[in-house]
Amino acid sequence: MDTATHIAMGVAIGGLATLDPVVAENTINTHSVFVAAIIGSQIPDIDTFLKLRNNAVYIRNHRGVTHSIPAVLLWPIIVTIIVGLFFPEANFFHLWLWSFIAVFLHVFVDIFNAYGTQALRPFSARWVALGVINTFDPILFGLHLLGIMIWLFGAQPGYTFLTMYIVAIFYYLLRFTMQRTVRFEVLKVIPDAKEIIISPTMHFNQWRLAIISDDYFYVGRANRRVITIFDQYKRIPVPETPIIEAAKKDKNVSAFLSFSPVYRWEVKELDDYHVVRFIDLRYRSNGHYPFVAVVHIDHDLEIRSSYTGWIFSEDKLRKKLNVVID
């Protein structure tokens, strides 16, 4: 989920914790748990700072180790120690317990996004992405804000947020049902589909589609039960040529390929270098595919420049690569 929703979740968990008699018995426990819940709901995303290094490092590691099973066990201990320094009289077991709940829920809800997490590490490096909730879901965020407002108007926070989360569970079940309906409708349009990647959008009834059959990639959108296919690409295996093999060794291309489950490729030969481009098919927007990896390789198979990330115009890509693209 996005940062704003995770913060709202931290507030909600802090309010929910008032149902715990030990937390509610004094203000020290109540305040310390509230702070810990907010920190715990944010701390797995500390790897966002990797963006300051470069996109390749960020793509490879965001929602990776920091969202793994060992991290889920370690973060609550760290949060408990940090918060305990400021609240030495707090009940440390309950401080740890609600820190754990906050961290666990952060990682758990991220699984339902299209981006997903490597939550099964160290047992599996596979990305777990159920694709039923958008990274920012207006309904879920609004539900949290409603709960916070009701609390501010004097309602008991524990039962307020308990009710809110029960409603949220039914919302998640509804989204799974909607996704399943979309999958069923896609198979009517493309019966030979081998894999269907369905990604939610901010619009309640709209879903992005990336479909793989034996011979083609299809890119489209679902609006309720209506399936629209925008693009169709011949599924051509990535060749094992010297140019491609050199491109795969580049850190940006390697990071892209480790993350993207469905992409097409292009190789363009210019006068003094080759342009190799890998294009993720999951994020089509206004006829454009913004998530790419591009590498320029000279005729001696040396990398001249490369980039991976979100690009919405060729002008910006030229600036990132610092090389003129014809």
Per-residue pLDDT of the chain (326 residues), as tens digits, is 899 999 999 999 999 999 999 999 999 999 999 999 999 999 999 988 887 788 888 888 889 999 999 999 999 999 999 999 999 999 999 999 999 999 999 999 999 998 889 999 999 988 899 999 999 999 999 999 999 999 999 999 999 999 999 999 999 999 999 999 999 999 999 999 999 999 999 999 999 999 999 999 999 999 999 999 999 999 999 999 999 999 999 999 999 998 899 999 999 988 888 999 999 999 998 888 999 999 999 989 999 999 999 987 777 777 777 654 43
From residue 108, give the alpha-carbon distance in Å to each of 68, 221, 259, 314: 11, 27, 19, 37
What tokens were used for 39? 């920190």
Which residues, other chains included, contact 303 with Cβ-Cβ below 8 Å and sequence gap of 6+?
246, 249, 250, 295, 296, 297
C-alpha 100/C-alpha 165 separation (Å) is 17
Which residues, other chains included, contact 62 with Cβ-Cβ below 8 Å and sequence gap of 6+?
47, 48, 50
Give Rg (Cα) of the chain. 23
72 membership: H or E segment, kind and range = helix 69-86
3-state SS string for 52-66: HCCHHHHHHHCCCHH
Beta strand spans in 112-214 (E): 195-200, 206-212
Helix, coil or strand: residue 311: coil
Which residues, other chains included, contact 237 with Cβ-Cβ below 8 Å and sequence gap of 6+?
none
Which residues, other chains included, contact 157 with Cβ-Cβ below 8 Å and sequence gap of 6+?
14, 15, 16, 18, 151
